[in-house]
Amino acid sequence: MTMDRDVDSTREVEQTPADVGSETAPSDRRLLLNCSEAEEIRAAVVERGVLREFYFDHVARSTCLGNVYKARVVNVEPSIGAAFVDFGGERNGFLHESDIVPGTSLENGGSSPTNGDSADSKADRGRRANGGKRRSIADLVTRGQEIIVQVNKDGIGTKGPTLTTNVGLPGRYLVLMPHIGRLGVSRRIAAGEERLRLRRLLEDLHPPAGMGYIVRTAGLDKSKAELQKDLRYLLHLWSEIQGRIASSRAPSCLYRESDLVTRVIRDVLTPDTAEIIVDTDAAFRACHEMLGLLLPGSKLQGRLRLHRGRRPLFHEHGIEPEIAKTFSKRVELRQGGSILIEPTEALVAIDVNSGKFRDEEDPEETAFKTNLEAVPEIVRQVRLRDLGGVLVIDFIDMQEDRHRRAIEKALRAAMREDRARVRIAPMSEFGIVEVTRQRVRPGFGHANFAPCSHCAGSGLVRIPDSMSVHVLREIRDALASDDVVEVIVTTSAEIATHLLNVKRRDLRALEDETRRKITICVNRDFRADSYQLQTVRGDARRPASS
């Protein structure tokens, strides 16, 4: 087994956990888990009242990211160096030749690579041993062949999920890669002495030959015993998957990634988190159990609390307006400038405008200060919206090279906290910075909006079930006021139908709980995603929001 100093694991970047290596004093960081609506589970990280990270899961549109499948190759396309694989999803998965580890077919037992290929890097996996010629996709897989694959990118738009045969199973501190016989440490652990200590610990664990492991960021400062426990768990998990391989017929799911609550506790929670707040009893019990399982003896269990306020959790902490801003193209800056974000088919264009900001008489200083203020907000919006692919950021023109370098340096520093893999090109003479960012699942906008039937896809309209959940949250917020005796919602026929049918039980329960009246009215002139909410206080009726 060899040591790898620069392990480049996609899964480690995608699912890099926060550093929970040691107990630290609580900060102003809060983790909020909104589980009150069964259709949509949401998680938010808030620091100093600002939304920093946002995650969600739609139950009706569950993700297959991270799942492991026994699949069958249905088509091989040498012209694009890829194969299309039936893994049991709605659309066939896309398997590129660079994501195939040679020697991992079921004919070889599906457990480890053969012929010494385990030491190859991803760039070298498809190359022949003789002459260094690139191996064709037709030499790696054949039509009808059964293979074990993992989804490393959800389908987005018309594209199917992206697959890999390089299976990676994340634990609390380690990532097991059964087909790559290398050991490594997450690049996020920068300290040289700690990296060396962890590499030695990995060697002392004596993992099975032919299997690879990466120490995740959460493994920082962990002992040999803690890593050994995680190793045993991952080996047991892989053993169970291998048992299912023999007893399952392709296509079938062999391993399913954890739900959002578990993933957030495992991958996002930090030791300085001041509070973990959930809004349902079931989620509270699940979090308490996960904290006891993953972090036994941690003080974080004492920071877990159940939200019992009358207002919804995200309204109470001012999160809903921040989420709503992620649907807007324009984001205002505090000093008067603004950012325009325009996703297109090929790339995402981000434009910085000075707007009303006139702090300096010198245009160069005005441009520099506006650009500098825009950098952290651009990075925050990119993360919240999960923008991926090619991002083109058009900063306000600056003449001085020192200002360009300062903006570029600030952008790189702000991007370091991003869990996705990011590459940043130097700023051009026109003030343009090109960024490539890894995207592994559809963003919140894609999941909550559909192409508008009135504009042939040039705009977006919020889908009825998502809009109904949003309206229900607004009703809950309106009913939190003591003097409100009735809430009247006027909306389109689509949303009203969903509320009066799918959400009828929730509306009735809310009326019984608050002893207030909720009335749903239809206005056929309303757009599909519009509504008006009125509250009745005594005899007076006045609009509350729309």
> pTM of the predicted model, to two decimals?
0.71
For residue 20, count CB atoms less than 10 angstroms from its CB and return exposed for 0-12, middle for 13-18, buried for 19 or more: buried
What pLDDT score does 544 carry? 46
Give CB contacts under 8 A, 24+ apart, made by 435-438.
Answer: 435/390, 435/391, 435/392, 435/393, 435/411, 436/389, 436/390, 436/391, 437/382, 437/387, 437/388, 437/389, 437/391, 438/10, 438/13, 438/14, 438/388
> What homologous superfamily does CATH list for 452-545?
Ribonuclease E, catalytic domain (3.40.1260.20)
Which amino acid belongs to residue 181?
A: G
What pLDDT score does 300 carry? 80
Rounded Cα gap, residues 383 and 458, in angstroms = 24
Please give the CATH architecture assigned to the domain spanning 18-60+259-318: 2-Layer Sandwich (3.30)
Same fold? 18-60+259-318, 68-255: no
The CATH number of the domain covering residues in 68-255: 2.40.50.140
What pLDDT score does 106 carry? 64
Rounded Cα gap, residues 374 and 491, in angstroms = 37
Spell out, as residue ranges, where the chain has pLDDT lower than 70.
Answer: 1-27, 60-62, 103-134, 157, 296-297, 357-360, 440-459, 538-546
What pLDDT score does 345 carry? 75
How far are the Cα atoms of 30, 78, 98, 123 from residue 134, in angstroms, in the given order? 49, 12, 10, 10
Using an 8 Å Cβ cutoff, are 183 and 213 in contact? yes
Sequence spans of domains, the chain: 18-60+259-318, 68-255, 326-437, 452-545
